[in-house]
Amino acid sequence: MASMTRASVLLLGLASLACTDVPEVAYQTEHFDVAPDFDHPICAGTLQRFEDHLEFVESALSRPVPHGERIRFYWITGDLDSWCSDRAIGCYYPGNRVIIGTSASAPHEIVHAVLNAEAQTNLFLEEALAELYSGVGAYRPRAARTSGPTPDELMWLSLSDYRFGELDYGVAKHFAAYMHAGFGQGTIRELASVVVTGAGPPELERAFELRTDLEFGELEQRYVDEAQAYYPGLRDKVVTRLDGKSKWIDASLRCDETTTLGPLWDGRPGMYRTFRLELGVDSVVSVRLVADDDTWLDVVDVRRERSAGKVVDLSHPILSGRREHPRLEGSETQVLQLRAGTQLFVVAREGYEYSDAFLQVSVEEFGPLSGE
């Protein structure tokens, strides 16, 4: 109760600052109180996504949220500047388990809620962990690693520099993904246990050195030289995989079922589901959608989006707007030339009326399929 009382006091102050009412809690799950600033429904799949993500982060970090402490999530679709810092797309208030943001930023903020660091003395590494365990992939080519800010520079970033937007989240995420891939989950977990104590840069550099048997400067150089340009998201595989063998998939949209996400990724009223096709080589693929006229299917070339500077969250597919992707509407069939890599299939519609939808994907010219 004490925690909720502190949260209430905090949010009364925020409400006054924002010149608006604090949204009321409209949904309660096992661990979350969700208070949206909109009236249209949040679908069962999106609520379950928050729960599943919390379980994933707690397991990965071996750090459960203390029993009985709930996370309150204020889902704000308007201007966040008065609620969080300038330019932020979400924020977390330690000690109160209060998240403010959108469904896009919620997985990142859930990591902060699990860490609940005693002090924010190293925002680079805390944000690196939050970015890594948000589950979204990381992209940074070697040219950027040799010319942009380095992990060492960002580790020593002051709090004031952070507040003025000097932290490069792309570097933070990519460095954490490199560490995870090269040194394993256990090493990341041990580093997280140091971050949450409020340790400063010298202690954290020593923690890296103890756990990698490398001087930090050598570790940083290996990162520049050896890191892959792209690391898939740690949550990519929760998205249902299509086998490309002509089997019909039930892609029906029902907001009250955990298969269906909603609102739409841009906050509009609506429902959607995502599927992935992993292609080992460029392939000719026949795609057939059988659905109502107001239901559509987008086929998103994930690698093509990355070339436009956008790493795609496969469960929350906000696109760059700089690339075109095939779309099928209603009952339609298209034969597509698709490139190797991940192809994301997004079945969606506006509104919340039940919509039957069935999807058939057939790789006509087979190459070896990649991934698991």
Global confidence as pTM: 0.90
Nearest Cα residue to 165 out of 89, 107, 109: 89
Residues 334 and 185 in one domain: no
- Residue that is written with structure tokens 């039930």 in the block: 250
Residues 358 and 264 in one domain: yes
d(CA 135, CA 313): 8
**For residue 1, what pLDDT is reported?**
31
Q: Are strands 357-363 and 283-291 parallel, antiparallel or unpaired?
A: antiparallel
Residues 221 and 79 in one domain: yes
Residues 114 and 204 in one domain: yes
Residues 84 and 214 in one domain: yes
CA distances 349 to 166, 235, 329, 330, Å, are 39, 24, 10, 10
Nearest Cα residue to 236 out of 271, 267, 299, 278: 278
b/e per residue 143-180 (b: at least 16 CB within 10 A): eebeeebbbeebbebeeeebeeeebbebbbbbbbbbbb
For the chain (372 residues), the mean pLDDT of every run of 10, in chain order, is 37 48 94 96 98 97 87 91 76 88 94 81 86 96 88 79 71 96 95 87 90 93 95 97 94 98 96 97 96 98 94 95 95 96 98 97 71 52
Write down the number of H helices and E strands in the chain.
11, 16
Q: How many domains does the chain have?
A: 2
277: domain range? 239-363
